[in-house]
A = this chain, B = another copy of it.
């Protein structure tokens, strides 16, 4: 085998490694999106069983994270990638941490759905949680699309979307406080609603983080902490 042939062979194997890695991250993203949408459905439909199933399935997300992490370590150790490939792998190591934490929040929402299903149900079937939930689910989907297509424009738009999610979240929290003050017997139930809103709002933060890694990956520059939306001075924003 000629040296150039060998190099070509190694580089094709490397390309395949990277392609497999990207596909695994997208699969993990798909699983997390499905967990999230089922958790929201469980809240809205008052389906305790579905909520508990989501919580139970979180181990699948965790397993994918460990697998992808090991794969990143293996590629770093054996291929010593440079420049853009290296940035891709560092970005993936960070991205899967955020995906795993979105999974953790979906797990919590699943448990909360199961608790809320056993309590009085408001006439609007938690419409605000549904709206906020769909909003952050959309952010997660857009973040994964930006990752898949290395689409900086979509990444930036999604980063900016997080401010609107924060506003919706603040509105829900104010409403919850009003409900509790008007009807103290509702406090236990409404606290579950506030935890649920909190988890959804955090999912928006994680989606935003992923978009920032996409921008870093493509542009090679770190845009975190430069967007002025980190310190809003609000007690309820994360």
Contact = CB atoms under 8 A, between A and B. Distances in A.
A77, A94, A112: most-surrounded residue (chain B CB, <10 A): A77
A66 interface: yes
A235 B192 contact: yes
A238 interface: yes
Contact of A80 (B80, B198, B225): B80
A122 B180 CA distance: 21
How many copies of this kind of chain does the complex include? 2
Contact of A104 (B93, B94, B234, B238): B238
Contacts of A222: 66, 69-70
Contact of A235 (B69, B112, B233): B112
Contact of A94 (B82, B93, B235): B93
A115 B233 CA distance: 10
Interface string A70-99: 101100110010110011001001100100
A225 B66 CA distance: 9
A230 B104 contact: yes
Contacts of A180: 180, 184, 187
9 contacts: A59-B231, A62-B230, A65-B224, A80-B80, A90-B93, A107-B231, A115-B235, A192-B235, A198-B198
Interface of A: 55, 58-59, 62-63, 65-66, 69-70, 72-73, 76-77, 80, 82-83, 86-87, 90, 93-94, 97, 104, 107-108, 111-112, 115, 173, 177, 180-181, 184-185, 187-188, 191-192, 194-195, 198, 222, 224-225, 230-231, 233-236, 238
Given A66-B225, A180-B180, 20 more contacts: A59-B225, A62-B230, A65-B225, A66-B224, A73-B86, A76-B86, A76-B90, A77-B83, A80-B80, A90-B93, A93-B94, A107-B231, A173-B191, A177-B187, A177-B191, A180-B184, A180-B187, A181-B185, A195-B236, A198-B198
